[in-house]
Amino acid sequence: MRVAKLLEASPLVEQVFYPGLPSHPDHELAKRVFSSGAEFAAAPPNGAELG
């Protein structure tokens, strides 16, 4: 969670995909499903394309 929060606060990262963050659209679901935490998915830098 600490890493996800640091990445989310970084101006070098456009978006962090981590269900444990309150900003994630499925955060409430993740709290119920992943009782011991969620895995980190991706944090593309600004201007990068996912592919």
- Asked if residue 18 is part of any domain, the answer here is yes
What number is the average pLDDT over the span 29-38? 79
**Is 19 part of any domain?**
yes
Instruction: Report helix, strand or coil for 7.
Output: helix
Q: Does a structural domain hold residue 2?
A: no
What secondary structure letter does DSSP report for 43?
-
* 26 found inside a domain: yes
* Residue numbers of the domain that contains 20: 10-34
Among the listed residues 1, 15, 10, 23, the one whose alpha carbon sits nearest the alpha carbon of residue 44: 15
Q: Determine the average pLDDT of the residues in 28-46.
A: 73
pLDDT of residue 25: 92
Q: Number of folded domains in the chain?
A: 1
Q: Enter the pTM of the model.
A: 0.64
For the segment 10-25, what is each residue's pLDDT rounded down to a tens digit?
988 888 888 889 999 9
pLDDT in tens, 23-32: 999 989 988 8
Worst-scoring range by mean pLDDT, 2-6, 11-15, 29-33, 42-46?
Answer: 42-46
Domain membership of residue 30 (yes or no) is yes
CA 4/CA 10 separation, integer angstroms: 10
